[in-house]
Amino acid sequence: MANAGSSTISAYRVDDHGKLELVKAVAADTGGGSIDMTTSDGFLYVQNAAAGNVQATR
């Protein structure tokens, strides 16, 4: 999940009770614009349309 207000990308998982649990929040320049995400080869690629760049995190 992209968090424009805090400039982070958060990863969640579903716990044994079916509730969302925060796994990790990673600092990122989300720029407040629209964001598209895809996973490939263990990386998360985030397109930041407002800043005109792509970021990758593992």
Tens of pLDDT, residue by residue over 13-52, are 899 999 999 988 877 766 655 555 666 677 777 777 667 7
**Domain ranges, ordered by start, for the chain:** 2-57
**CA angle (53 as vertex; 12, 44 as ends), nearest 5:** 25
- Above 80 in pLDDT, residue 58? no
Q: Round to whole Å and give the CA distance between 48 and 37.
A: 10
- Above 60 in pLDDT, residue 2? yes
For the entire predicted model, the pTM comes to: 0.49
